[in-house]
A = this chain, B = another copy of it.
Amino acid sequence: MIRPTAKDLAEAAGVSLATVDRVLNDRPNVSARASLKVQEAIEKIGFVRNLAAVALARNKIYRFRFVLPSKGDQYLQELLQRVGEASHTLKSDLTEITVDQIATDDPYQLSRHLAAIETEEVDGVAVMAPESPQVRDALSRLMTRGIHLVQFLSGQEKLKTADFVGVDNFAAGATAGRIIGRFLGNEPGKIMIVAETMVARDSIERRRGFDSIINEQFPHLRALPSLETYGDQSRAAAIIQNVVERHHDIRAAYVLSPESRIPVSAISQHADLQKVTVVVHERTPFSEEALRTGRIDAIIAQDPGHAVRSAVRIMRARADLRDPIAAQEKIRIEVLLKENL
């Protein structure tokens, strides 16, 4: 037999096609005995569902939505582009992807937005938003309503019942710590740490991971308190100037936030920081160029294209009541140097 079909399976199991259908699709009114006979026949004849036929017969269009921040710099642009590409590619796969950009840092607005998503219009939602109890509740309610949720690159204290796509930020911070520690060698010195804001859970976890490595492995180095730019160029310059005046042995800088343009610009414009080792997060046109020209020394990244595709695969699997293939969906913490860009 070339490739057994459901008909062959029915025959082998000694039941009708209708029963095979009931078993395969978990429909009610099947006796345990019949179910068992079908399961055994599946093993015996090596039946494998033809997914193309399933998709065609279901004739269902999968509708997924990405909820992303409305404000951001190059990293957000990068994400939007990847989502757009995925949307385009997946059209022929009966998958429609939409994007909502809202002020994800306003828990109230975000919650309202999530509450307004109708079960009928969407099969799955991938949300990238900072943590808050209110948002967490809204996400829970979303799931209760039968909408599959993916926590996307974001720092929610993970809802255990939801899928997550992204990296372990503690490990990402630790990786940055290892890089800086090894790059600096044995001479003592201080490390400047810059973030847009330390409210974001992502930044907090990275900082914790970073500190854990520096303290344990490189005790001759000292990580200074985190500076917050609030996304403001002149504020960034001012606080960095302030730190430089008080510490004469700054040998490295670590930028916690995904948007590194403002902090790195401030650092590379400062006369006293020309020789410091700089590590940032996320690959953007800016960080890539900075790595090429030597203004920064390494990028810790998670591939946004992978992340988007992974989120879609997971939502797709959940919509079909399948389990995602965990091994394939792990997002790697990438270390980018000038040579492996």
Q: State whether B334 touches A305 (Cβ < 8 A).
A: no
A332 at the interface (CB under 8 A from B): yes
Q: State whether B332 touches A334 (Cβ < 8 A).
A: yes
Complex Cα distance, B209 from A209, in Å, reads 32
Residues of B within 8 A of A178 (CB): 337-339
A174 at the interface (CB under 8 A from B): yes
Q: State whether B340 touches A175 (Cβ < 8 A).
A: yes
Interface size class of A (residues with CB under 8 A): 35 or more
Complex Cα distance, B52 from A303, in Å, reads 28
Q: State whether B174 touches A92 (Cβ < 8 A).
A: no
Q: State whether B56 touches A50 (Cβ < 8 A).
A: yes
Complex Cα distance, B91 from A197, in Å, reads 48
Q: State whether B56 touches A53 (Cβ < 8 A).
A: yes
Which of A54, A172, A340 has the most chain B CB atoms inside 10 A of its CB? A340
Q: State whether A93 touches B175 (Cβ < 8 A).
A: no
Complex Cα distance, B59 from A50, in Å, reads 10
Complex Cα distance, B339 from A178, in Å, reads 7
A327 at the interface (CB under 8 A from B): yes
Interface 0/1 of A327-341, CB less than 8 Å to B: 110001111111110
Residues of B within 8 A of A325 (CB): 89
Interface 0/1 of A26-70, CB less than 8 Å to B: 000000000000000000000011111111100001000000000
Q: State whether A92 touches B50 (Cβ < 8 A).
A: yes
Instruction: Give which listed residue, B3, B91, B185, B340, contacts A48 with CB less than 8 A.
Output: B91
Nearest residue in B to A58 (C-beta to C-beta)? B52
Nearest residue in B to A55 (C-beta to C-beta)? B52
A199 at the interface (CB under 8 A from B): no
A182 at the interface (CB under 8 A from B): yes
Residues of B within 8 A of A54 (CB): 52
Complex Cα distance, B326 from A85, in Å, reads 12
A177 at the interface (CB under 8 A from B): yes
A230 at the interface (CB under 8 A from B): no
Q: State whether B92 touches A48 (Cβ < 8 A).
A: yes
Complex Cα distance, B210 from A340, in Å, reads 12
Interface residues of A in 308-335 (CB under 8 A from B): 309, 325, 327-328, 332-335
A323 CB to closest chain B CB (Å) equals 12
A186 at the interface (CB under 8 A from B): yes
Residues of B within 8 A of A204 (CB): none
Complex Cα distance, B337 from A193, in Å, reads 21
A208 CB to closest chain B CB (Å) equals 13
A66 CB to closest chain B CB (Å) equals 18
Q: State whether B93 touches A171 (Cβ < 8 A).
A: no
Complex Cα distance, B49 from A77, in Å, reads 29
Cross-chain pairs A/B with CB under 8 angstroms, 13 sampled: A51-B93, A52-B52, A52-B53, A52-B94, A85-B327, A175-B339, A182-B182, A182-B183, A209-B339, A333-B339, A334-B335, A334-B340, A335-B335
12 new A-B contacts at CB < 8 Å, known A50-B92, A178-B339, A185-B185: A3-B61, A48-B92, A51-B52, A51-B92, A52-B53, A172-B340, A182-B183, A183-B183, A185-B186, A333-B339, A333-B340, A335-B336
